[in-house]
Structure 1
Amino acid sequence: MEQPLCVPPPLRGTDPGSFAERTVRERWPRIVAQTIQVNDFPASINKRLRALHDELPDGPIRPLQDPGAPDLRLWNEWIAPYLGETWASAPWLFAEHYLYRRILEATGYFQPGPTHLLDPFRKQKTAALDPSAEAVAMLARAANERATCPEQARAHLPLLLLTSLWGNQIDLSMWSADKAPRHLGTTRETAHLLVNETEAAHAHLEAIAPARVDLLADNAGFELLCDLVLIDGLLAAGYAHTVVLHLKAHPTFVSDALIADVLELLSRLANASDSAPRLLAKRLRSHIAAGHLQLTDSFIWNCPLPMRAFPALPHAELARSDLVIAKGDANYRRLVDDAHWPFTTPFAEVVSYFPAPLLVLRTLKAEVVVGLEETRIGEVASRDPEWLTNGHWGVIQFYCPPRPVSP
């Protein structure tokens, strides 16, 4: 009988000298302070945000104080195991999601009043696209060419995956858009891949097309555009008949994408001065109208659980997919339990619980990764001591569950 996988301990803010520790002690207070700075909140909200700021990093985890919020019961269940722990001592994956939910509690996101459903990170998200007008037009022109030629779209799949992967460098919880590393259009696109299993994913799509593809979105802004261009290419190539785009149910991680962010991006493309983005927006809207591109959100993508611990229903929904594409660092951390795995642990072994073929596109911004070769680890670590967290290195990893054996 196969032995159950033993999951290592989770990353915590008490791990000495770790990026998690730096996040809890430095990044999170800065994010809360910035939320005050960029918004014109009334004094009562700023007071609550300052109180949250002062809890970090050694204040206690407490239940939410957000009466009537639609996710209140769920969150109090998720919080219960960590009551009495501190922001630093609780598992990092839990505490990070809890932080963003506490920001919404402080800003009255779910409460009646002037800040009801007001995204406290909207200004940062909107500004993140402004420096990218030329890149937006270039991506749109290439997408429009592919839309007229399925053969070109199929041949360009590796390029589309790279574009979507490195779009993940634009992460507003890490750095401002103008200071993010940029590998797109450089030799670093491939040179900085630690794992590249594009060929296996490409072969899988060739074998099953046309397929249902599910994409777990990460950041709004330029990365979301890169993801929409990938979706457009999958549809143009005939690889997908339907793409389900999974988005967050409420603001989190500063720049994570909501359905509202997709609609705003499409509006900006439709009103661009260049005709190429306008044509791309028209085509994407037609995909939505025809049901080929489906926008969906769920509190499950805002929850503090590793994916292994998801309830049965979300797993059953993902099991309907022919390919799930997971974008970004937070989704990767969730997939691999945000745990202290040896970096050489086989990727397929860690995600063997996953119910569908899985492709991950992730730039490294946390000290957790699996599926690497020992020699590659040594080579990269000697060149770049910050390789695990600085967003300069990426992985394209593919897993396909074994087919059931017929009796």
Structure 2
Amino acid sequence: MALPPPLSAKDEKSFAYETIKDRLPLIVTRIVDFLARHRTNFAKQYGEVTENECKSCISAMDKLRYEIARDKPILLLNDNHTDDIHIWNEYLQKEMDQGKVISWFQSNWLLVECYMYRKIAEAFNLTAHLQHVDPFIEMKQHTFYSSVQAIDVVLAQLNIDIEQTTDPVNNKSTIEQQFYNYMEISLWGNQCDLSLSGGANRSQEHDPFHQITELKTHILINHETSLFNYLYDQQAYLLNFDVCIDFVLDNAGFELLTDLCFADFLISKRLCSRITLHLKCFPWFVSDATKTDFDWLLEQLSNSSSNSVWQIASKRWQQHIQNGQWIIQTHRFFTLPYDYSYMQQISSELYCTMSQSKLIIFKGDLNYRKLVGDLRWPLNERFETALRGFQPTSFVVLRTCKADVQVDIDLKVGQEITKIDPRWMVNGKWAVIQAFFKKQTEKDI
């Protein structure tokens, strides 16, 4: 099958062009500002040599910003002490050997955007004292603090719903409605994406339970009923069943909290027995959640002496971790330039592990782009076709639309939405709960 071309900034009318021309340089500029403001503190913490390390990182950012603006060729990485560099450089070298032009505006969008964040990591990796500094940490934490009222509302209701003793057999309809609530709150939490805003604050200021009612009509594909029935039919609420879910997380801050609320609900109502939470290995796409972000969030909840609602949730989440019901993992595949159709080839152990799950929950726009290859599919292309063979198990994408790629939508429906909102594919105001259910084979049964 001939595949459509990749999304690329070669098309000046595309969101890829807008991203590379405007958003990426702005993100790099914010890192320069972060380093300039904090280099004195770093010097006090790690010694005067850190002043020069900050200067080297600033110089690297200035060079990166210049190369993006001038559409310079993309070069091989050179921080040789990292375990992913050979995969990155083999990928880039293969592209070069095929005679392809690899530059910011001429190459595929997925590659160059991922490459920018890996180049940012390279600058910090090449220092002795700043390797573990997250240049986006202030932005992520500010977004969390700006959302405290919404956090109060969600956690208060979650604690009530979980403390209620609800028999899954006799109260299926109650659990089903709660399932929809927490899935949709997790979905719309994906609007808090700092890479979309270039690092500008995107906090959650409204009551999420009220918001999901208002935004119901903005969910263009909604498979949540099928998903609830799929999980309910696994009968995880019967104690002798082991039903594992993988949750590939997206943004830190408020979105991460909403994801953990959904994960807490699934465990507490025994719709599954174990959840593996996948985080990024290093700072990625501005606000993507790392293990450090996860630990920081739990610390904020547990140390909030004036807010018992936060402490109750934190204690329950710590128990999930301690008893093995929440498993925290990072894997380098999620910060490679490859889309998911390459997972079995590049990271066979991850693919094998995910194949054991009953369901994978993918959060966010980047995961969607990687699932469909970031290609210019027709709007009405079948989701299964766009996956190009990636079928480890059944999965769902909870995504607010922030890139000009979407499948499984009728062309007439797409035209009607475009009349209402010409930028519906990229502004994060529309969403999908889009599922793929793997057909069972004799081997699976």
Q: Shared fold (TM-score greater than 0.5)? A: yes
Residue 26 of structure 2 corresponds to which residue in structure 1?
30
Is 1:386 the equivalent of 2:419?
no
Residue 297 of structure 2 corresponds to which residue in structure 1?
265
Residue 374 of structure 1 corresponds to which residue in structure 2?
411
CA displacement at 1:153 relative to structure 2: 4.3
Residue 185 of structure 2 corresponds to which residue in structure 1?
163
Is 1:224 the equivalent of 2:250?
no
Alignment of 1:130-149 (within 5 A): 130-149=145-164
Is 1:316 the equivalent of 2:316?
no
Amino acid in the other structure paired with 1:143: L
Identity %, equivalent residues: 31
Distance in 1 between residues matched to 2:295 and 2:437, nearest whole Å: 32
The alignment's TM-score, normalised by the length of structure 2, stands at 0.86
Residue 45 of structure 2 corresponds to which residue in structure 1?
none
SS of alignment partner, residue 139 of structure 1: helix
Asked if structure 1 preserves the Cα contact closer than 8 Å seen for 2:153 and 2:207, the reply is: no
Give structure 1 stretches of 5+ with no counterpart: none
Is 1:46 the equivalent of 2:68?
no
Residue 16 of structure 1 corresponds to which residue in structure 2?
12
Distance in 2 between residues matched to 1:144 and 1:233, nearest whole Å: 9
Distance in 1 between residues matched to 2:24 and 2:218, nearest whole Å: 28
CA displacement at 1:314 relative to structure 2: 2.2
CA displacement at 1:398 relative to structure 2: 1.1
Asked if structure 2 preserves the Cα contact closer than 8 Å seen for 1:153 and 1:234, the reply is: no
Amino acid in the other structure paired with 1:66: D
The alignment's TM-score, normalised by the length of structure 1, stands at 0.94
CA displacement at 1:374 relative to structure 2: 2.3
Amino acid in the other structure paired with 2:58: N
Asked if structure 2 preserves the Cα contact closer than 8 Å seen for 1:171 and 1:180, the reply is: no
Deviates more, 1:345-354 or 1:378-387: 345-354
Amino acid in the other structure paired with 1:267: E
Residue number among 128, 142, 153 corresponding to 1:113 in the alignment: 128
Amino acid in the other structure paired with 1:89: Q
Is 1:177 the equivalent of 2:172?
no
Report how many residues are paired. 401
SS of alignment partner, residue 296 of structure 1: strand
Is 1:103 the equivalent of 2:125?
no
Distance in 1 between residues matched to 2:154 and 2:206, nearest whole Å: 15
Is 1:206 the equivalent of 2:232?
yes
Alignment of 1:68-107 (within 5 A): 68-83=81-96, 84-106=101-123
SS of alignment partner, residue 227 of structure 2: helix
CA displacement at 1:191 relative to structure 2: 1.1
CA displacement at 1:44 relative to structure 2: 2.1
Distance in 1 between residues matched to 2:390 and 2:251, nearest whole Å: 26
Amino acid in the other structure paired with 1:164: S
Residue 125 of structure 1 corresponds to which residue in structure 2?
140
Is 1:397 the equivalent of 2:434?
yes
CA gap 1:181/1:389 in 2 versus in 1, 3 angstroms: farther
Distance in 2 between residues matched to 1:366 and 1:162, nearest whole Å: 20
CA displacement at 1:318 relative to structure 2: 1.1
Asked if structure 2 preserves the Cα contact closer than 8 Å seen for 1:15 and 1:21, the reply is: yes
Distance in 2 between residues matched to 1:313 and 1:398, nearest whole Å: 23
Distance in 1 between residues matched to 2:105 and 2:422, nearest whole Å: 24
Give structure 2 stretches of 5+ with no counterpart: 40-53, 169-173, 237-242
Asked if structure 2 preserves the Cα contact closer than 8 Å seen for 1:166 and 1:183, the reply is: no
Distance in 2 between residues matched to 1:116 and 1:405, nearest whole Å: 48
Alignment of 1:286-365 (within 5 A): 286-310=319-343, 311=346, 312-351=348-387, 353-365=390-402
Query: Which one has a bigger Cα radius of gyration?
Result: 2
Q: After superposition, what is the alpha-carbon deviation per residue over 1:25-66, rounded to whole angstroms, capped at 9, x for unaligned?
A: 111111101111123342222111101110004010100121
CA displacement at 1:375 relative to structure 2: 2.7
Amino acid in the other structure paired with 2:201: A
Deviates more, 1:358-367 or 1:348-357: 348-357
Q: After superposition, what is the alpha-carbon deviation per residue over 1:374-395, rounded to whole angstroms, capped at 9, x for unaligned?
A: 2321211000011010000000
CA gap 1:51/1:181 in 2 versus in 1, 3 angstroms: farther
Amino acid in the other structure paired with 1:137: D
Asked if structure 2 preserves the Cα contact closer than 8 Å seen for 1:10 and 1:340, the reply is: yes
SS of alignment partner, residue 233 of structure 2: helix
SS of alignment partner, residue 245 of structure 2: strand
Asked if structure 2 preserves the Cα contact closer than 8 Å seen for 1:367 and 1:389, the reply is: yes
SS of alignment partner, residue 147 of structure 2: helix
CA displacement at 1:85 relative to structure 2: 1.6
CA displacement at 1:86 relative to structure 2: 0.7
Distance in 2 between residues matched to 1:183 and 1:21, nearest whole Å: 35
Distance in 2 between residues matched to 1:405 and 1:9, nearest whole Å: 36
Distance in 1 between residues matched to 2:245 and 2:202, nearest whole Å: 32
